[in-house]
Structure 1
Amino acid sequence: MAETYTATLDRIVDGQTAVLLLEEDDETVDQLDVDVTMLPPAAQHEGAVLEIAVEANELREVEYLPEVTQSRKESAQERLDRLSTRLSDRE
């Protein structure tokens, strides 16, 4: 039986292997390395958020979540902006 996860594409190694970080309850619980061509073309970039099904350590289904990807990117940028503002206030 397949297990479903939210996964984030952490990095692409040697242009071939996508390193997916599997999440449960907003925590990273595992890592799955797959051939990057198994992912939808729009999701073949760092930070892409996917919903995946895994069975016996094999990727069975993949759905790219562009809205979640964009939301996480914006949240990360806001955090960086806040931190850089705080640092510049100290000088």
Structure 2
Amino acid sequence: MAETYTATLDRIVDGETAVLLLEDDGETIEQLDVDVGQLPQDGQHEGAVFSVTVDGETLSEAAYLPDVTQSRKAAAQERLDRLSTKLSDRE
């Protein structure tokens, strides 16, 4: 039975294998390793977010979500900026 998840591209190993972290309700629930060629080319970078359909342990569809990717990147940068500001205030 096919299931749909949000997935984040954690890393690409040896230029061939994409390591996707599947999410459910914002929590990472599983890792799925796929051939990087199965992913849309514009999303073949670390941190890219996809909507994926998985049938068993096989990726059957992947759609790149550029807006979600950018939003998560911006949120992470804001957290880092806040942390670095708080650390510099301590000195």
Normalised by the shorter chain, which TM-score bucket?
A: over 0.9
Residue aligned with 2:85, SS: helix
State the partner residue of 1:20: 20
Structure 2: runs of 5 or more not aligned: none
Counterpart of 1:50?
50
CA deviation vs aligned residue, 1:2-41 (integer Å, no higher than 9, x gap): 0000000000011110000000000000000001010000
Tell me the equivalent position of 2:31: 31
Amino acid at match of 1:39: L
Following TM superposition, the consecutive aligned residue runs of length 4 or more in structure 1 with deviations greater than 6 angstroms are none
Aligned partner letter, 2:85: T
Q: Per the alignment, in what secondary structure is the counterpart of residue 15 of structure 2?
A: coil
- 2:59: which partner in 1? 59
Separation of aligned partners in 1, 2:56 and 2:71: 31
Cα-Cα RMSD:
0.4
Q: Percent identity?
A: 73
TM-score, structure 2 as length reference: 0.99
Query: How far does residue 56 in structure 1 lie from its aligned partner after superposition?
Result: 1.7
Q: TM-score, normalised by structure 1?
A: 0.99
Q: What corresponds to 1:86 in structure 2?
A: 86
Residue segments in structure 1 that go unaligned for 5+ positions in a row: none
Distance 1:35 1:82 in 2: 37
